[in-house]
Chains A and B, each alone.
Chain A
Amino acid sequence: MQISKIQVGDTLPEISIPITLQRLVMEAGANRDLSLIHHDTKVAQATGAPDAFANTFFLIGMFERLMREWAGPLARIRKIGPLRMMIFNAVGDTVQFKGVVESVDAASGRVSLDMWVESERGKTVTSKAVLELKD
């Protein structure tokens, strides 16, 4: 992706991914957040969640994937956040990661994005992000 081809309002190709307990267990082992709420249904439900739910590292990593697949290998990922978690992304949900270009600064090469996660439960997570691109 070249910065000269990016316009405010451009949408990033969305990603859909099912949240299964197996995926959460793989994710916890790989990202090392082994808090029980992310892989133990009973503990998660005791905190008011419908089931074990995706952790913050997974959400940030998936936003990185969303940015990387759109911007390509030459983009430098500079910032993710503020990322706000509003609704659980729990076992049984299929979640969509989406994004749109919010601003483009050709001089600095910086592109600001507005990104979010949707599921049957609504808009579950929002995040801003900044990446750097050159022509």
Chain B
Amino acid sequence: MSEPSWGLWGTWEETEACLGKVVGQSTGPDPVERGSIRRWLEPKEFACDIHTDAESARAAGYDDLIAPASMVFTYGIAPYWSPGDKPAAIDDEPTQIQIPVIFDVPAPCDKSFATSVEVEFFEPLYPGDVVTCTSRLVDIKHKELKVGKGAFLRQEDTYTKQTGEVVAVAYLDIFRFVAVDNA
């Protein structure tokens, strides 16, 4: 197994060229349904009828049961494998969650981590809804931290459903850097 990648290599000029642009888009392969909701609630020991029972959700003013608001992230993630993809080999680079400002925006950095996230919720997610996430690079702030020198990249993710309605807008701050001992 090779080492996981911590970001796409490039120059700061190439990073700047991505500012304000769409840097990634993904559509979740699975519509909202009660099985995936239950499996998401399970490791959190989260019991709430509006996510599992349509009658309880209607009593709370919804049309049907709703997915937990923060499940929008999960439903917007692209599949890790699809029919037609090449078979995996043991020395392939491990598949990671796709974060466009790490893996699709070039920067002269070999490490990265998330520092902050915020998300605002709008329309609820009902069974059958399919989620698309569109990512833009909206800010670049150069900074030197204890771990190394690099920049904070801010990713704006707009989550929409098949009707075009906005479900959520999230902002993710990623610090991309060269570690002190490699600088």
Is A68 close to B, CB under 8 A? yes
Bound state CA distance, A63 and B39, in angstroms?
17
The size of the chain A interface, using a CB distance under 8 A, is 37
* Residues on B with beta carbons closer than 8 Å to the beta carbon of A62: 44, 46
Instruction: Give the interface size class of chain B.
Output: 35 or more
Tell whether A79 pairs with B114 under 8 Å between CB atoms, given A26-B42, A30-B42, A73-B49.
Answer: no
B92-135, CB under 8 A of A: which get 1 and which 0? 00111100000000000001011111111100000000000000
Tell me the interface secondary structure of chain B in the complex.
mixed
Chain A, residue nearest B170 (CB)? A81
Bound state CA distance, A43 and B3, in angstroms?
9
Chain B, residue nearest A54 (CB)? B43
B9 CB to closest chain A CB (Å) equals 18
Is A77 close to B, CB under 8 A? yes
Within 8 Å by CB of A57, from B49, B73, B95, B120, lies B73
Bound state CA distance, A63 and B117, in angstroms?
13
Using CB atoms and an 8 Å cutoff, list the residues of chain B in contact with chain A: 4, 36, 39-40, 42-46, 48-50, 56-57, 59-61, 68-71, 73-74, 77, 80, 94-97, 111, 113-121, 171
